[in-house]
Amino acid sequence: MGKKVGMEVSIAAAEAAALCDVDVVAAYPITPQTHIVEHLSELVANGHLDAEFVPVESEHSAMSVCCGSAAAGARTITSTAAQGLALMAEIVFIASGMRLPIVMLVANRALSAPLSIWNDHSDAMMVRDCGWIQVFCENGQDVYDHVFHAFRVAEDRRVLLPVMVNMDGFILTHVIEPMEFWTKEMAQSYLPQFKPAYRLHPDKVVSMGAFGMPEIYAEQKMAHDVALRDSRPVIDEAWDELARVTGRKYSAVEHYRTDGAETLILAMGSLCETASLAVDRMRDAGKKVGLVKLRLWRPFPFAEIRQALAGAKDVVVLDRSVNTGGGNAPVTSEIRAVMYHEPSRPKIHCMIAGLGGRDVTPDDVSNMVDMALAGTGAEYYIYGVRG
């Protein structure tokens, strides 16, 4: 424990999947996810990972293979980004509706058009309501650890839901970071064998993916919604256990220098690290600014967010996608809704930044805070747009 080794985050994520001893990998290469899948393919081809690698012809097929594989009781992983996620979207909703514990690593990338290979969160937000557990990672270590976490949570009999691990494309996927790696023993002690409640097997015949008549569809949807919300204690339990194994403690909502803060920045993903540098600078300049990191996007951590934002005068939400025509952005919209019924609520500012790979520096974050506090009254800004 404690020895840090530099590795590209994509390669590390694939190594984590290998340590989880996945049975099936079905994926189609797409930038910026490519290195994850390439490395998994290499591990299988070289005999280091005893898994079936299915080189599918599209992302739609990738998720379809994953559904069949998980239904048969195999530990299953895939990975995609942007247009790939859009193409597989149909099956993404089916995977969760059928309660299949697939793990998917999403290398977040902007949706076309204009065609972009660069990072933002528009792909993840497109499937926001897909009924998966959705986590946003801040750095490489975070990504690596959450591969193990995802399988443990997904396959838990109390959960049985797919888990999406979001990592910012290029900003995380293509960067070499110092990370602490798990041993085979750690992985085995942390992650029990996958024992599905039901699987496709001739010894005990079941039907999966059946038609849902109007008389039963709403009941199934309710059961799915409750299952996703009820997965929360298991998610926390898996984080606690991860802390015991690695010494690193993750939470649904994390705080950085929030004591006595009048203004809070709220962000998801790698932007949290950038924002923490901005907070340091603003604190040094005597400004009472802190950072709230939202790691768990679904199930949404209502209680923690209400508690975290309760004392603030202003909250500046940094969004990485646009709710086009909706007058704000997905994270802001959620935060405003959550705080609406609170007796005292902060002013919630919507700052959209980093679209399609536009760089966001700590100075940009400070600027956004200044702009928000100056209060021009706009419902939302797309920061840095010219003209």
Which CB atom, from 158 or from 313, has the smaller least distance to other proteins? 158
Interatomic CA distance for residues 119 and 51, integer angstroms: 30
Which CB atom, from 227 or from 253, has the smaller least distance to other proteins? 227
Which residues partner with 25 through β-bridges? 53, 77
CB 379 within 8 A of CB 328: yes
Which CB atom, from 45 or from 222, has the smaller least distance to other proteins? 222
Amino acid in the structure at residue 145:
D
Q: State in angstroms the smallest separation of the CB of 226 from other proteins.
A: 7
Which CB atom, from 232 or from 320, has the smaller least distance to other proteins? 232
Interatomic CA distance for residues 254 and 345, integer angstroms: 20
Q: State in angstroms the smallest separation of the CB of 362 from other proteins.
A: 45
Which residues partner with 163 through β-bridges? 103, 133
Which CB atom, from 99 or from 109, has the smaller least distance to other proteins? 99
Pairing of strands 289-294, 253-256: antiparallel
Q: State in angstroms the smallest separation of the CB of 164 from other proteins.
A: 17
Interatomic CA distance for residues 328 and 380, integer angstroms: 5
Name which of 324, 331, 381, 376 is nearest 352 in CA terms: 381
Which CB atom, from 217 or from 247, has the smaller least distance to other proteins? 217
Which residues form the interface with other proteins (CB under 8 A)? Answer: 97-100, 160, 197-198, 205-210, 212-213, 215-216, 218-220, 222-223, 226-227
Distances (CA, A) of 281 to 41, 256, 289: 43, 13, 10
The three-class DSSP label of residue 327 is coil
Q: State in angstroms the smallest separation of the CB of 37 from other proteins.
A: 27
The three-class DSSP label of residue 385 is coil
Instruction: Report DSSP state, residue 357.
Output: G
Q: State in angstroms the smallest separation of the CB of 344 from other proteins.
A: 35
